[in-house]
Amino acid sequence: MRIYLASRSPRRRELLHQIGIDFDTVVFRDGDRADTETDESPLAGESAEDYVERIARAKAIHGLKIIADRKLPMRPVLSADTTLEFEGQIIGKPVDLADATAILKRLSGKTHRVLTGVAINHMGRTEYVLSVSEVRFRTIDDEEIRHYVMSGEPMDKAGAYGIQGLAGLFVEHLAGSYTGVMGLPVCETGELLKSLGFRPL
């Protein structure tokens, strides 16, 4: 059995392959032609928990609409959204190098939460699960931040870092799901798929 993955993320593709799930990818438009249905702008006063759930569900629902419009075979659509919460503020992907630098300086020596919501739209119903992890960075000096930002790695990642890449050097403590911090918590995702009749193993 195959599913659709409504995500551009190479990390999510890699993690689905890791747990033996076959999938085809549904890609949303971005830039000036971005799909309004999947706008990732936080709403005023929105909590990080509400934000990731709203975005993950919207991606799953819109992904199914794209499949129906293209008259593709109907299968479950899996989507996910990852964000950071630090001092009550939602931190998404950096807009530029200066923003990435500022985010990493804020996170240096502190603990933040990483929230990944996973949604599956199947048979007109959307199931959802949330993974929450706590990550503490050691103190990172300005030169390390500069080198990391210039590597380009932070630019497409929530919170301006990828735990599976060079930023693994910054992580002093992790409580929760390593794969959830990467962008797809495989334990929770596997349980969600099993509830729909999929057997990852």
Active site residue ranges: 81
Strand partners, 22: 2
Residues with Cβ < 8 Å from 30, sequence gap 6 or more? none
Strand partners, 79: 119
Residues with Cβ < 8 Å from 64, sequence gap 6 or more? 77, 121
Tell me the H-state helices in the chain.
10-18, 48-69, 97-107, 142-150, 178-182, 186-195
**The two structure tokens encoding residue 96:** 């530029």
Query: What CA–CA distance (Å, rounded) separates 130 from 116?
Result: 6
Query: What CA–CA distance (Å, rounded) separates 186 from 98?
Result: 32
DSSP code, position 75: -
Query: What CA–CA distance (Å, rounded) separates 194 from 178?
Result: 21
